[in-house]
Structures are given as C-alpha cells and as structure tokens.
Structure 1
Amino acid sequence: MQKGTRNSLFIVLFGSFFGVLSSTLMNTALPPIMHVFHISYSSAQWLSNGYMLANALMIPVSAYLMKKFSFKMLFLLFSSFFFIGSLIGAIANQYLLVVLGRMIQAIGAGVMNPLVNVMAMRSTDKKHRGSVMGIIGLVFNFAPIIGPTLSGVVLDSFSWRYLFIMTMPFTLLSIILSVFQLPRITKETDLTFNVKGMVTASFALLCLLWSFSNIGEYNFVSWNILGLLIAGLVFTALFFKTQKGSSNPFVNLNVFKHTQFNIANILNMILMVTMYGNTILLPILIQNVFHKSALISGLVLLPGAMVTGIMSPISGKLFDKYPVRFLVLIGITIDCIGTTLQVLVTPGTSILMITLGQTIRQFGLVLVLIPIQTQALSYLPNEQIPDGVALYNTLRQVAASFGTALLIAIITIADKHSDMGTMSGELVGIKLGFGACLLLLLTCFIFIRKLHTGIEDR
C-alpha cells in the first residue's frame, strides 16, 4: 500500500471511529436520560435505534455517492453532518431534539464508515486483506464495545451532554486533516439516484422497527404493533418490486448471487443482535437491578473492549493463515460459553462474574467478526465491492436495531407480568434477553458448515 493511500485510510479510519463509537455511546446513559426526561424504556431506546436506523438508511446511499463523487468531498460533507448532529445533541433541551441530534450524527456516520471498507478492499491485494481488515476492525468492532465504558467514565463526573461534546474536537480534527491530505479524485458518472428505492426502504425499516419497539407497551392486535408490522411488510414488498429490473437500483441486489456473501451476512446479523443487545442489557442490569453507578457499568465492559482492541488485528492475520470455518467455529463456541454465564445471573451474582462473562463473549466474538466480513467481500468482483460494503453494513445496523428493540421488549414484558418472588421482573427480562442471545448463537452452527474452508478458494 502506497504512503498516500495509507495516510488517507488513516484519516478516514480516525474520523469513522467516532461515528461507530457514538452508536453505543448513549447506552450507558439510558437510565439517567430516562430519569431526566421522564420517559420509558421503549422511548429511551430510540437514542440507540434512531441512530442505527438513520445509519442503516444512509449506508446504501453511500454506494451511489461513492460512484458519483470523490472520497474527499464525501468525507468532508458527512463529517460536517456528524459534527452538526453532535452540536444539536449537546445543546438540546427536549428529548426529541436529543434524538434528532443522534439521527443527524448517524447520517454523517452512515456515509463515512463505508468509505473505510471500500478504500481498504480496493487498495489491498487478496493475500493481505485479512490483516488490513483486522486493523479496520478496531473501528467497527472495538468502538461499539468501548463506547459504554467511555460514557460510564464521563457520566461519573459530567452530564450526559458531554457524550456529544467529547466527539466534537476529534471530528473537527479529522475534517481539517482531510482538507489537506485526502486526494480529490473526480468521478463523472451518469448514475440516477433511485428515489423510489430510498423512500420504500425508509418507510419499511421505520414501520418495522417502530412496531418492534412498541412490543410490551401495547396490545399486539393494534395499529402500534400489528398495523405497523403489516405496513412495514407492504413497504418491503414494494421496495423489492421497485428494485427488480431497475438499471439504477437503490442497492445492487446482484451481490446476493454470491453464496459466501450471503452466509457471512447471516452470521454477521445474528452476531450484531447479540453484540449490540449486550451493550443495552448490561447497563440496565448493573444500574437498575444491582444499583451500581454508570462508571461501574462502563468498567464491566472495559476488559471485553480491550480484548476486542488487541485481538482485532490478530483475528485479521489469522484469516490470512487459517480456514474461516475453523475460526468461526472456535469463536462462536467461546461466545456461547460467555453467554451461558450471563444467562445464569442471579441477584447474588458478583460484578466480577458478570465482567468475566462479558469478556469471554467478546473474545469469541472478535475471532469471528473480522474473518466473516473479509470472507463476504473477498468473493465479490471489484465493481460490486461498494454495493457489497453498503449492504453488509446496512444489514449489520438493521439487525442491531431490531435486536435491541426485541430485547427491550422482552425486558418490558417481563417487568410488567413477572411475579418471581425475590427476583424482580426486570432481572427476569434481562435473563430472558441473554437466553435469546444464546439461542441465536446456537443457530450459527447451522451456517458455519456452509463456509468455504480453503484459503485458495478466495
């Protein structure tokens, strides 16, 4: 990799880090924000789900933009969006404005983040892609895990507003660096943006996620759940109808013709539900059930975050040397062991044991995430890589959003209807949430055997 390309990749990676970090930065702040604005779990989760939904919608747009405009212009524009969103969140005096700030942040991050993957895949030969993607894993896998820890440290001494403020100087620095360092490569293509695809996809995701978010708050046979669910499915059908045969689709569905891309996507979506769900379940468990501080909540996640940071580059190098099926099998098995420890949590469980379970989970997870992402993209032709990156990251965010909504719904239902004596309904819901994560992880073993084993096959 040439020096100029390496410098450009570092700048985009640095800026994107804070976009991914922000996806979970507010999770530890959910209990205090619920108290300040007097809102329920279902409303509070939009701090995370609103971010991930807007992020998911912008990622497919990035595939079109990267074919139409230069990386430099895109990075500057959407880094500025992220900065503006952070500013709105920092000064907001109403909950809706906080959510708005989060969603504007997500619009910026939704385009910034795919730039990293596309730049890396296009500038690296196949023999070294695992190593480079391992370094990139520091953004996409380490940042979401360290987010709750950093927010716990901040919340121990400062207001939740500083969770927005803390990202602003770094975003500004990445904007300044990009002005002087990123090359301006002009692109003149006659692509037409697929507005119908964007609109139908947006309404489909919004209705489906809104429906999931309302589970536990309303009767199933109501507009708020069943009505929105049906509307979401209708918009989903319309989306596929508008994309079929389109010369300029919103997302290039031809990438789904590659079996290894599909298998890796399924595994990634399952793992995102469990990973992002964990960053929601643990803060609620530690702060609301065990009545510990936000700092303790963040520190519980710290060892797992450190393991992720250390192992991400190593995991990428392992992909270059060993069959992906072998790595995924070991990683999922370790993840199941850690999740089992979390399922067994009781009112008398120590914080140390909860930390151990989380750390084991992250060790297993990081062995899987980099290899399956590299596996997915390595089987695509170069011209389809922007579309592959967009769809892979979109489905990642969609899975995280729906997984978070589902787990919050489980907690809400259990808290309302459970009568377990010495065990609170909230704790029952959290245990059921961990149990749901374990069941999802067990389904991964069905798909592992379909992964190609030979390095030479890539």
Structure 2
Amino acid sequence: MNKNRFSFALIMVGAFLSVLNQTLMSTALPGIMRAFHITTAQGQWLNNGYLLINALMIPTTAYLIKRFTTRQLYLTASLIFIVGSLIGAIATVYPVLIVGRMIQALGAGIVIPLVNVVVMMSTKPTERGAAMGVVGLALNLAPVLGPTVSGVILVKLSWRYLFGLTLPLMLLDALLAWRFLKDVGEQRQQPLDRKGLVLSGLGLALALYSFSNVGETAFLSFKGIVPLVVGAVLLAWFVKCQWTRDYPLLNLHVFRYRQFNLPLIINMLLMVTMYGNSVIIPVLVQNVFHRSAVISGLTLLPGSVLTAIISPLSGRFYDRYNFRRMVISGLCIDMTGSLLLSSTGPGASIGFVILGQTIRQLGLVLVLIPIQTHAWSMLPTPMIPDGVAVYNTLRQVAASFGTALLVAIISITASGQFHWSMNSQLVGIKFSYLSSTLMVGICVILGLQLHKSYAEPIATEHYATPDPSEKKVTPGVRGLTSHFK
C-alpha cells in the first residue's frame, strides 16, 4: 500500500469533493427556492437528483474498474465532474442547474467506489479497518461539513460560489493525478450489461419520482402510485436478469453472505436518517427559528469536528476490539440524539439543536466505518468489487429515498390539513426525528446479530472474469452453486 499512498491520497481528495457536493447545497436550498420560485419538493432534487445519478453510476463501476485502468477511470470521472461544476455555476434557470448537478454526480458516482476498491484490494484483512478509517475521514466528514462550509460562504456570496469552491480544487487534483497517479489492479475484457443498466436506471428514476411527489400530491394519486409500481416492476425484472445473466452488471450472489447483508441493511437505514437530517436542520434553523444560513451551517460544525477526530480511530477499533459492542454503543448514542431533537419545542435554543445533532453524529461515526469494513471483509476477495458496487448503490438509493421521505413528512404536516398549537413545520420535523429514532432502533436489533465469520476460501479462478469469446460461462458465479449446496 505504501507505494500507492500518493495515488490513494489523490483519489481520496476527489472522493471527498464528490461527497461534499451531496450536502453543499442543503444550506443554500431556501435561497435557491426563492431565486427560482420553486417548491420544497422541487428544490430537493438538488440533492435527490445528485444522489440518484450516483446510484445509477455506481453499479457500473464493478465493470469499469475491471475494464479500464485506475488512471483512465479517475481522470475521466474528474473531467465529467468539472464540466458539471461549470454548468451549475453559470445556470440561469432551474432545470440547467439540475443538469449541472447531475453531470457532477456522473463523475462522483465513479470516484467514490473507486477509492473503496483500491483500498480493499491493496490492504491485508487485518489492516482494512485502519485504512477504511482514513477513507471514512473523507466520506463521513464531507456530508456534515458541506452545510457548514456552505453557510459561511452564503453570508456574503451567492450560491453560485458553491460550485466555484469545488471546481478549482477538483481541477488541481486532476492535474496532479494526470502526472502522478499509478494504476492499481489488472484490466479484464468484459461486455457491459446494457439491459441491466437500462432496467436499473429507469426503475430507480421512476420510484424516486414517485416519492418526491409525496409532498405535493396524495401518495395514492396517479402521479404518486403509477411511477412507483412501474419502477418496482422494472427493478424486479433487473434483479431476475442479474441473478441468471452470463455477464451481470451486479453480481447479486454477494447476498448469499449473511454478514454482508446485515451491515448493508443497517447502513441503508442510517443513510435515511443521515441525509434526511442534512435537509431538516436548515429548515429547522432558518424557517422555524428564523436564523441565518450561516447559523444553520454552524449548527453542524461540532459534529463535523467529532467526525474528523473519530473516523480514523473507529476504523482501528474494528481491527482491534469487539466491533459489535462498538456498533451497538454507537447506535444507542444515535438514538439518544434523535430523541433529543424530537423533543425540540418552539422555545428551544440553537444550543439544544447543536447538542442533539452532535450526539447523533458521534453515534454515527462509531458505526458507519466498522459496518462498511465488516461487510466487504466478509466476502471472498475476488467478489469485493461487486460487494462495493452493491453496497454503495443501495447506500445512495437509501439516501435518496430517505431524503424524499423525511421531506414529505414535513411537507404533508405543513400543508394546512392539520391544526397544531405550534409551527406546523416544527411538528413535521419532530415526527421526522421520531421516525429516525425508530429506524435506529431497528438497527440495534440487527446489530446484535453481527459477528466476524469470514467467508470460506474459494478458488480465485471461480471468480475470474472469463474471456468474452467463451460460450455459456457465468463470470463471477462459476463454482458458486456447488459451494453453497
């Protein structure tokens, strides 16, 4: 890993900037809504559109990482991200702004899983926790740091400068990568599963569209239920095709490993609460307490500092200590913070919100890195790229749907159909945090079943990608049937 340290650092910087963009716009959302005269449900597409494109791109990374060199893949992704930043910075109408964000997400969807695969494939199993802790410093710090940085910038400058912040940094990183980045791993020839790509893309897009309309229309309306049903059918078709296809876009046989599935479900539930919170906090501080954007950004700062300090340590703890106890402890801390925030009243202080948010972030950072490292370590090494792709895809999908769900709770509550003794948006926020508490409680139950039980060694050739000229051969699945009988 030492010889690839600088290459790893370059990719990690790109991953940090990519994840930063997922929440950088959260604090600016109220201002953007006023500038373009859009609703909250429309405005959330700044985040949901970004997360959705990430989710669509990540499944292809298992194929791309095998097909292209690390250098080719990273430079291409960086260039796409830079183009998207330029479009967003000069956008004069809201649809163009969304297009810029989605182009950014195309590049980010490649970079984020790339850094994970490089680390997992370049380190020993006993050192993966420490290495992933360093990655976690970037991937877990960025989502909570984004609103804080955004709030500071928006005090004096326009939201357009948020694109200008990441653009030169990514450009500099790409130039350094062009000069110094080294390749990791070997390339293989494998055809792209275009059918799987189309089915997953359309299915996810339709399902998310349905959830994003919850705040504006009744869920059981034509606009709400039809896209969801069609999307679900397409996704079911996608799963069926992937399970039996000779060259699947995603090797779904990773789901045969229980100790991969449990962390995956826990992570998805936590992503719902984490990314939904990045939208809830600005609404609470700015619309309910009528404080400035910088205050809403600074509300997340203590949690950001804790994340920076503890992320590397939590990875090392996975290598050295009983990680199940640490995961359960972190989840209980997260529940405590969520319950505190659910009790927020009209007269609550900003300090109370900061306390609840900081407690939540402390719990999350103790959980996210260990369960992620655990999930991938439980797979045979040749299946790690597929495991990373599946894990990150569902992580992003959960973040997209979770944000839509929690925003919908606030929108429905504030729609005027209910009469409360306090601000209707505040009531919706309280319900959102109670929902988050329930989801974390489910995670505790699942966390009790975690244990280190490494997959039995399977011959590497069983997972090798075959020559495309071979007939009737299933890559990544050969030997699996007999192994699991």
- Mark yes or no: TM-score above 0.5: yes
For residue 365 of structure 1, what is the aligned residue in structure 2?
364
Alpha-carbon spacing, 1:188–1:320, altered in 2? closer, same or farther (3 Å): closer
Question: 2:192–2:249: 8 Å Cα contact kept in structure 1?
Answer: yes
For residue 411 of structure 1, what is the aligned residue in structure 2?
410
Between the aligned partners of 1:249 and 1:404, the Cα distance in structure 2 is 29
Seq. identity, %: 50
Letter in 2 for 1:386: P
For residue 349 of structure 1, what is the aligned residue in structure 2?
348
Q: How many residues align?
A: 457
Question: 1:343–1:431: 8 Å Cα contact kept in structure 2?
Answer: yes
For residue 226 of structure 2, what is the aligned residue in structure 1?
227
Matched, 1:241 2:213: no
For residue 389 of structure 1, what is the aligned residue in structure 2?
388
Between the aligned partners of 1:146 and 1:90, the Cα distance in structure 2 is 20
Letter in 1 for 2:43: A
For residue 250 of structure 1, what is the aligned residue in structure 2?
249
For residue 273 of structure 1, what is the aligned residue in structure 2?
272
**TM-aligned CA deviation for residue 241 of structure 1:** 2.4
Alpha-carbon deviations, 1:416-458, whole Å to 9, x = none? Answer: 1454454111111111111111111111122112100579999
Between the aligned partners of 1:187 and 1:334, the Cα distance in structure 2 is 42
Please give the secondary structure, in 2, of the residue aligned with 1:166: helix
Letter in 2 for 1:164: F
Letter in 2 for 1:366: V
**TM-aligned CA deviation for residue 322 of structure 1:** 1.2
Alpha-carbon deviations, 1:56-103, whole Å to 9, x = none? Answer: 110111110000000000000010000000000000001001111111
Alpha-carbon spacing, 1:257–1:456, altered in 2? closer, same or farther (3 Å): closer
Letter in 1 for 2:224: I
**TM-aligned CA deviation for residue 222 of structure 1:** 2.5
For residue 70 of structure 1, what is the aligned residue in structure 2?
69
**TM-aligned CA deviation for residue 127 of structure 1:** 1.2
Letter in 1 for 2:99: L
Letter in 2 for 1:145: V
Question: 1:218–1:225: 8 Å Cα contact kept in structure 2?
Answer: yes
Between the aligned partners of 1:428 and 1:272, the Cα distance in structure 2 is 22
**TM-aligned CA deviation for residue 254 of structure 1:** 1.1
Alignment of 1:258-337 (within 5 A): 258-337=257-336
Alpha-carbon deviations, 1:390-411, whole Å to 9, x = none? Answer: 1111111000000000011111
**Unaligned runs of at least 5 residues, structure 1:** none
**Unaligned runs of at least 5 residues, structure 2:** 458-485
Alignment of 1:181-200 (within 5 A): 181-184=180-183, 187-200=186-199
Question: 2:133–2:312: 8 Å Cα contact kept in structure 1?
Answer: yes
Matched, 1:166 2:179: no
Alpha-carbon deviations, 1:167-222, whole Å to 9, x = none? Answer: 01110111111111112469553311001101010111111111011013113332
Please give the secondary structure, in 2, of the residue aligned with 1:183: coil
Between the aligned partners of 2:34 and 2:252, the Cα distance in structure 1 is 44
Please give the secondary structure, in 1, of the residue aligned with 2:244: coil
Question: 1:131–1:316: 8 Å Cα contact kept in structure 2?
Answer: yes
Between the aligned partners of 2:248 and 2:102, the Cα distance in structure 1 is 24
Letter in 1 for 2:217: Y
Alpha-carbon deviations, 1:251-286, whole Å to 9, x = none? Answer: 110111111110010000011001111111000100
Alpha-carbon spacing, 1:61–1:218, altered in 2? closer, same or farther (3 Å): same
For residue 451 of structure 2, what is the aligned residue in structure 1?
452
For residue 217 of structure 2, what is the aligned residue in structure 1?
218
For residue 133 of structure 2, what is the aligned residue in structure 1?
134
Between the aligned partners of 1:286 and 1:93, the Cα distance in structure 2 is 28
Alpha-carbon spacing, 1:456–1:185, altered in 2? closer, same or farther (3 Å): closer
Between the aligned partners of 1:450 and 1:186, the Cα distance in structure 2 is 34
Most deviating of 232-241 and 47-56 = 232-241
Between the aligned partners of 1:178 and 1:162, the Cα distance in structure 2 is 25
Question: 2:69–2:187: 8 Å Cα contact kept in structure 1?
Answer: no
Alpha-carbon spacing, 1:456–1:70, altered in 2? closer, same or farther (3 Å): closer
Runs of 4+ in 1 over 3 A off after TM superposition: 184-188, 417-422, 453-458
For residue 426 of structure 1, what is the aligned residue in structure 2?
425
For residue 339 of structure 2, what is the aligned residue in structure 1?
340
**TM-aligned CA deviation for residue 159 of structure 1:** 0.3
Between the aligned partners of 2:177 and 2:31, the Cα distance in structure 1 is 36
**TM-aligned CA deviation for residue 223 of structure 1:** 2.4
Alpha-carbon spacing, 1:330–1:455, altered in 2? closer, same or farther (3 Å): farther
Please give the secondary structure, in 1, of the residue aligned with 2:300: helix
For residue 144 of structure 1, what is the aligned residue in structure 2?
143
Please give the secondary structure, in 1, of the residue aligned with 2:299: helix
**TM-aligned CA deviation for residue 244 of structure 1:** 2.6
Between the aligned partners of 2:453 and 2:62, the Cα distance in structure 1 is 30
Question: 2:410–2:428: 8 Å Cα contact kept in structure 1?
Answer: yes
